[in-house]
Amino acid sequence: MTIVFILWLAVALGAALAVYHHVLYPFVLRLAARKAAASPAEIPADAPPPRVSIIVPAYREAAYIADKIYDLAALDYPVEALEIVIACDGSPDATPEIAQKAVKSLGKRGRHIRLMNFAENRGKVAVLNEMIEAASGEVVVLMDSSAGNTPDFLRRLLAAFGEADVGVVCAGYKLSTPGSAGEAAYWRYQINVKKAEAALAAPMGAHGAAYAFLKSLWRPMPKDTINDDFVLPMQIVANGAEARYVPDVAVIEREVSHPEQDFARRRRIGAGNLQQVWFCRALASLRRPKLAFVFLSGKALRGAMPFVLAGLFIASALLALVGKSVATTLPLAAQFAFYGLALVGVKRPALTRFRLIAYPHYFTTGYWSALMGSLDLLRGRFRDERRITALPGEAGILFVDPTTDRLKRVFDILVGLCAFAGFLVLLVPLAIAIRLDSKGPIFYRQLRVGRALPDRTELFHLIKFRTMRVDAEAASGAVWAAKGDPRVTRLGRFMRKTRLDELPQCLNVLMGEMSIVGPRPERPVFFTKLETAIPFYAERTYGLKPGVTGLAQVSTGYDATIDDVRLKILFDHTYALRIRSPLEWLKTDLAIVFKTIAVMGLGMGR
């Protein structure tokens, strides 16, 4: 089995998953849904209306909150059976004042509308959990401030609860003004898929703008939930209830998305897509095969798709690099053409009115933002973008300016993914060789000191291929490696010379714990001693993530004495001073990466 054959398999698998998720699955879903579709039941006309609590969380909604309150006040529903709560979540703009003025202007017509104004922003999930717990209605409806509704909206939405075992009803969704042709096409695609999913099994999540559920079936969401409009309703479904999608009962989205806003929103959704696969994994139970099919083929695969596409691109690039025929370049060429059209849309936004540009642009920027969000989640640093946690001026006191920091992270991800592809190729042969050479685990995990920030110093577990005996420090305790170290195995000497032992650190890079280039991460047991012995030692990682390689690593050998560390400190501080601008950073990092490749190729490691 040659490397070219393995890469062809990887390319074929990635392409097959992408085509299945975006083309074949929707087609199969529509065929299956056609046979399973049924007419929804209706609540008898003489049935007493259920008591309903409508909850509208509001944060920075000054432009829409008044119109939302007027829409809700105009609902054709008995006031005595209706409770409306506007929950202002520590909004720093005029949202609370505008809401209060709008309710006051309604007079008696607004007596069933209650305002809750939280002094501090706690995040949407915390507000929802508290408001739902306190709700008096047997049916709870969650709505967005920017979503407009008709007077008959609530009655028509509740009609779907007339079916047996229905616990969740999801309203339709329409954009008043799509931000681009790509966004309009995306929502048409999503709505059609959701219709088919609902006809076959259940809609995979709700449009967050409006959905309803029985309070008796609700359970509080985990406090770190990202996509609440998926996790809340689908956990109810996972516990046995049915869900319905009523696209004809739609709310109208008034807010027009802008590129920067859309990127942040989709980055958040991307992180949530990955998180919700775990939170709602019970949906994959084979006891409900139709539900498992739509969950695994739809949302579960959507959460993995950013990594599938990245892996497809890397495998295609490696195939073009090592292949010797024109055919091996075709997968990469096709992707370059597609992503090139997307780049045209980035550079010339006006051209996104043409479908040829709009579709690749929206697809690519969507999955790029999803990849960024997923990596945020995996490294444990995802935060609700509405919370303000940084102190004024805090970013300016770090070594790296924000633009360089973002570019450095993009560089880390791209190079980290390439290294990950190499790691996958070499994993099996190296794992076998390590086990044959000496007893013990394949990998070696060790606690290291990471980036220093104004409020904390990060710690993480560095991952390497094991190069020493498992009892290497049993007698001596923690000591530095030395030239000709007897604790190093025969294979370990080779891996250290070629730096192959450091290949698993690509996982630390992708999780955001390390950078490709940066200061060497030290063990805590040595860190405290060195901080005392060497001035400005701790500052070497202030605002900088430690690196797999670095200026100090390619300029000197392993640390054996305090003097060796003192020399490396000079290189580390020199590196920090040389990356103050994006151009200088790029030149510096590329030079270090190329020198590292030379060290690996010539076996100059130790």
| Mean pLDDT lowest among 135-144, 300-309, 406-415, 459-468 | 406-415
Contacts 24+ apart (CB under 8 A), 352-359: 352/180, 352/181, 352/182, 353/180, 353/181, 354/181, 355/181, 355/185, 358/180, 358/181, 358/182, 358/185, 359/181, 359/182, 359/185
Average pLDDT over residues 216-242: 93
Q: Which fold has domain 48-257?
A: Spore Coat Polysaccharide Biosynthesis Protein SpsA; Chain A (3.90.550)
**Has residue 162 got a pLDDT over 60?**
yes
The pLDDT assigned to 399 comes to 55
Average pLDDT over residues 425-443: 89
What does the domain layout of the chain look like in residue ranges? 3-16+304-378, 48-257, 395-602
The pLDDT assigned to 395 comes to 40
User: E-strand spans in 454-593?
Assistant: 456-465, 515-517, 547-549
Average pLDDT over residues 318-323: 88
Q: Give strand pairing partners of 246.
A: 171
Yes or no: say if 133 and 240 are a contact pair by the CB < 8 Å rule. no
Average pLDDT over residues 123-129: 92
The pLDDT assigned to 150 comes to 93
Sort strands 139-143 and 210-214 into parallel, antiparallel or unpaired: antiparallel
**Has residue 253 got a pLDDT over 90?**
no
Q: What is the DSSP string of 108-175?
A: GGGTTEEEEEESS---HHHHHHHHHHH---SEEEEE-TTEE--TTHHHHHHGGGGSTTEEEEEEEEEE
| Mean pLDDT lowest among 76-80, 259-263, 367-371 | 259-263
Tokens of 174: 């329409």
Amino acid 562 reads: I
345 CB-contact burial (10 Å; exposed 0-12 / middle 13-18 / buried 19+)? buried
Sort strands 113-118 and 82-89 into parallel, antiparallel or unpaired: parallel
The pLDDT assigned to 393 comes to 38
pLDDT in tens, 180-193: 676 777 788 888 88
Between helix 259-279 and helix 355-378 the angle, nearest 10°, is 50
CA atoms within 13 A on the CB side of 250: 12
What number of other Cβ atoms are within 10 A of residue 525's Cβ? 11
If you average pLDDT over every residue of the chain, what do you get? 84
Distance (Å) of CA 416 to CA 201, 251, 382, 508, 509: 39, 43, 20, 9, 6
CA atoms within 13 A on the CB side of 103: 17
Which residue from 159, 169, 49, 68 is spatially nearest to 113, judged by alpha carbons?
68
pLDDT in tens, 523-576: 887 787 777 777 777 777 788 899 998 888 888 766 556 677 777 788 888 888
pLDDT in tens, 100-119: 999 999 998 888 999 999 98
CA 501 to chain centre: 29
- The reported pTM is 0.62
Yes or no: say if 170 and 246 are a contact pair by the CB < 8 Å rule. yes
41 CB-contact burial (10 Å; exposed 0-12 / middle 13-18 / buried 19+)? middle
Q: What is the 3-state secondary structure (H, E, C) of 299-354?
A: HHHHHHHHHHHHHHHHHHHHHHHHCCCHHHHHHHHHHHHHHHHHHHHHHCHHHHHC
Task: Give the Cα separation of 115 and 148 in Å (integer).
Answer: 19
Q: Give strand pairing partners of 139.
A: 52, 214
Yes or no: say if 471 and 509 are a contact pair by the CB < 8 Å rule. no
CA atoms within 13 A on the CB side of 552: 25
Q: Give strand pairing partners of 166.
A: 242
Task: Give the Cα separation of 408 and 517 in Å (integer).
Answer: 9
| Mean pLDDT lowest among 380-389, 415-424, 564-573, 589-598 | 380-389
The pLDDT assigned to 218 comes to 95
Q: Hey, what's the torsion of the CAs at 549, 554, 560, 563, to 10 degrees?
A: -110
